[in-house]
Structures are given as structure tokens and as C-alpha cells.
Amino acid sequence: MRLLVVEDNVPLADELIQGLQRQGYAVDWLADGRDAAYQGSSEPYDLIVLDLGLPGLPGLEVLAQWRAAGLATPVLILTARGSWAERIEGLKAGADDYLSKPFHPEELQLRIQSLLRRARGLANQPTLEAAGLHLDEGRQCVSRDGQDVQLTAAEFRLLRYFMLHPQQILSKSHLAEHLYNGETERDSNVLEVHVNHLRRKLGRSVIETHRGQGYRFGGVVE
């Protein structure tokens, strides 16, 4: 999953980025509202973490521009401001959730997981489950029939994206755009390797190849 963090406090941004990367997210970072207004609407992010007090263009105006342009990407607002009026203003502008600073990193992690599941119509699932698999996002492993299957970091990122998009045909270019940040070289051959590793661990039928189109997750786990 590819996230955009828009935060002008550099120490906080560094902390957020490192924590999110440890959780298996690809993260881009911007500190200026004007840059965020453009990049947020032109890159395929799965979720955006947005601070309100930004230079260049205030966060609420950035959010209003995104929503006016039809951007449906989930947006989680971070702010040091704690009044109910400002919370309501942010939600009216189109925010999906609101977290006041200071906050515990685990709360941010859980809110992001919840928003990503909600965006895929999986809001009623407390954990991520699909095709007979249960994904433990905290331990970054998957289980079937109560038995854990260990994953590498790359396999975890790929499987999480598949499980959030079951039964959908996903092209290699689409997967690369959502699994790597804007500065990472995207190699479709590397994706093929990770898909084959998942098949060896979970069964070949769980990820189907659709020639010329991409992959579809959701077959029967062997």
C-alpha cells in the first residue's frame, strides 16, 4: 500500500515515515501544501496522512481541492489543534478520520488499517481475511487453519494488497504503483518472483495469472 504523508514538522515526519515503513507501507513525503495539492491528485495513493498547518497552502484548502476534483482517496488529518470546531471543519471538508497530536503510533497504525479496509468495503472485518487466509498485520505473517506461514517483508506487502482487492485482476504496473514509493525503481520481474514465492507457500491456485492482464487473488488455498 502506498501512502502520502504531508507534514512540515521534519522530526515528526521522519518518525511517521520510519514507523509506516516498518509496517510495510511505501511512503512518499511532502512538506508544502501546494505540492501536496498537485501530487495527491496525480499519484495513485491508497491513503493520505495530512497535517492542517502547512506552508504554501493550508491543509483544509488542500483537502477541499482534492475533493472538488473528485479524489476519493481516504484522508486522515493530523493536527495539534484540538477544538471540536476544527474537527468538524475538517470532517466537513471531506476528511475520513481525525487524529490530534500528540498520539500513540499504534493508534495511527490501527486507524490507517481501518480506513484501508473501509475503503475496500471491508469495514466490518476487525482483521484482514480472504480466501481462507488470516493476515496478522502486526506480526506481518499469514495463517491458515491456525498455522502461521512466515512471510518476507516484500511478500507481506504484496499479499496484503491482494487481500484488500480479492477477485480483482491487477496488472503488474498497477501493483508496482501501489507497492513502491515514487523514488523506488519498479521492476515487474521482481513482482513475478514474489508472486511465485507466495504460491509456493500458499498454493499455486491462490493467485491466478491472467495472460496479458495481470494477477487475480482469491482462489482456493491448497
Are residues 109 and 190 located together in one domain of the fold?
Answer: no
Are residues 115 and 143 located together in one domain of the fold?
Answer: no
Cα 108 from Cα 130, distance rounded (Å): 24
Count of H-run helices and E-run strands, the chain: 8, 12
Are residues 77 and 167 located together in one domain of the fold?
Answer: no
Q: Which residues pair with 2 in a beta bridge?
A: 26
Cα 219 from Cα 222, distance rounded (Å): 9
pTM for this predicted structure: 0.90
What pLDDT shows up at residue 79? Answer: 81
Are residues 14 and 104 located together in one domain of the fold?
Answer: yes
Q: What is the CATH number for 194?
A: 1.10.10.10
What pLDDT shows up at residue 219? Answer: 61
Is 91 inside a domain boundary?
A: yes
Using an 8 Å Cβ cutoff, are 193 and 186 in contact? Answer: no
Using an 8 Å Cβ cutoff, are 119 and 90 in contact? Answer: no
pLDDT in tens, 170-206: 999 999 999 998 777 777 789 999 999 999 999 888 9
Q: What is the DSSP letter of 7?
A: -
Cα 161 from Cα 94, distance rounded (Å): 25
Are residues 12 and 114 located together in one domain of the fold?
Answer: yes
What pLDDT shows up at residue 154? Answer: 94
Domain end position, chosen among 82, 97, 119 = 119
Are residues 95 and 190 located together in one domain of the fold?
Answer: no
Cell of residue 4, nine digits:
502520502
Are residues 9 and 49 located together in one domain of the fold?
Answer: yes
Cα 131 from Cα 207, distance rounded (Å): 10
Instruction: Give me the domain span that covers residue 104.
Output: 2-119
Cα 66 from Cα 79, distance rounded (Å): 18
Are residues 52 and 151 located together in one domain of the fold?
Answer: no
Are residues 105 and 178 located together in one domain of the fold?
Answer: no
Is 222 inside a domain boundary?
A: no
Q: What is the pLDDT along the chain (222 residues), one digit of tens a residue?
A: 999 999 999 999 999 999 999 999 999 999 999 999 999 999 999 999 999 889 999 999 999 999 999 999 999 998 876 667 777 888 899 999 999 888 898 999 999 999 999 998 876 666 788 888 999 998 898 998 889 999 999 999 999 999 999 999 999 999 999 999 877 777 778 999 999 999 999 988 899 999 999 999 986 554
Number of domains into which the chain is organized: 2
Are residues 115 and 6 located together in one domain of the fold?
Answer: yes
What pLDDT shows up at residue 145? Answer: 84
Is 164 inside a domain boundary?
A: yes
Q: What is the CATH number for 83?
A: 3.40.50.2300
* Helix, strand and coil in the chain, % to nearest 5: 45, 20, 35
Are residues 54 and 110 located together in one domain of the fold?
Answer: yes
Who's near 44: CB < 8 A, 6+ residues apart? 2, 174, 177, 178
Are residues 79 and 156 located together in one domain of the fold?
Answer: no
Cα 180 from Cα 72, distance rounded (Å): 20
Cβ count within 10 A of residue 169: 14
